[in-house]
Amino acid sequence: MDRILVGTTTKAERLLVTGLVDLQPVFNALKGSVLIVGGLMTRLWLHAQPIGLPARATADVDLGIDRRRLQLAAKSRVIRPLLEKHGFDSGGGATGEPFRFAKEFSGGQKLVVDLLVAPGASRSEPPLLEKDLTSLAAPGLAYALLRGAYVMPVDFLDDGEITGFDLPLPHLDAAFVMKAELTRSGMRSRADRRRTDTVDAMCLAASCLARPDSMEALKTHRTRSDVRGALRWIAKSFGDPKAAAARRVEEHFRQEFGRAGSDEWAVDVARRFVATLDST
């Protein structure tokens, strides 16, 4: 893939780039065992495979950790020392959120990093990442780890200056499964988060339609429970523009960008998505 170019214009975006520079040694140390997931995953894929709609910006970094590949056990201490070595300290969130790390930069700005594991990665609840470090189980992450890392070359452009990275992302089909499964699971019940998760999932579905390899991967793995759940969600949630999921997409683009008709767009994407999967 050619390098993608992402414009950096706001304080939050500049903070993200600065934080990624400091996280690069962590990515290098965990090579093959860490994926950038969440909103940044979505944004970068929508730059790499644009759909003609604006991508949602994000100022946080979510990391999916392959606990099994790192051979982490209940007595292991790998992730926390590595993050702390590079200035990211636990306690970046509320009490009871040890999975959240943060680093403070100039002006008092903090970059938050959340650590996620695949469901079933631990018998404990909440799931154990390593000694004294519990985490959150991310729906669809097991499929993303199965598919492996897609290393995306990214250049962030800020007033003529470029900061480049090779970032480990889930494959596009896995990114869709993660967002669709997150939405289907109802784990994030706040209305604003449920809306952005729905929008992200549908935008990634539209991107998948433009990549035959992504659709073929979904066909190949459609019997997996997480992939099957994601495919059922998109098939059942967008029957017409008045469906709740379609209305969430419409509300997002109308409020954020003054764009109408996104409900019908979402229904059309879902229809074509299902039809492509059902084709031989």
Output the DSSP codes for 160-185: TEEEEEEEEEE-HHHHHHHHHHHHHH
How many Å apart are CA 176 and CA 268, to the nearest integer?
A: 17
Query: Do residues 117 and 137 touch, judged by C-beta distance below 8 A?
Result: yes
Query: Do residues 220 and 147 touch, judged by C-beta distance below 8 A?
Result: no
Q: Is the pLDDT of residue 280 over 90?
A: no
Could you report the per-residue pLDDT of 159-181, keeping only the tens digit for each?
A: 999 999 999 999 999 999 999 99
Could you report the per-residue pLDDT of 101-146, keeping only the tens digit for each?
A: 999 998 889 999 999 999 886 667 778 899 989 898 999 999 999 9
Mean pLDDT is lowest, of 100-109, 225-234, 237-246, for: 100-109
Of 81, 61, 68, 66, give the one whose Cα is nearest residue 31: 66
DSSP state of 61: E
How many Å apart are CA 97 and CA 113, to the nearest integer?
A: 11
pLDDT bracket for residue 96 (50, 70, 90): low
pLDDT value for 93: 55
- φ, ψ of residue 21 in degrees (nearest 5): -60, -45
Q: Which residues contact 94 (CB under 8 A, 6 or more apart)?
A: none
Mean pLDDT calculated for residue range 91-99: 69
This prediction has a pTM of 0.94
Of 58, 197, 79, 217, give the one whose Cα is nearest residue 135: 79
Query: Do residues 61 and 111 touch, judged by C-beta distance below 8 A?
Result: yes
pLDDT value for 187: 83
Could you report the per-residue pLDDT of 213-224, keeping only the tens digit for each?
A: 999 999 999 999
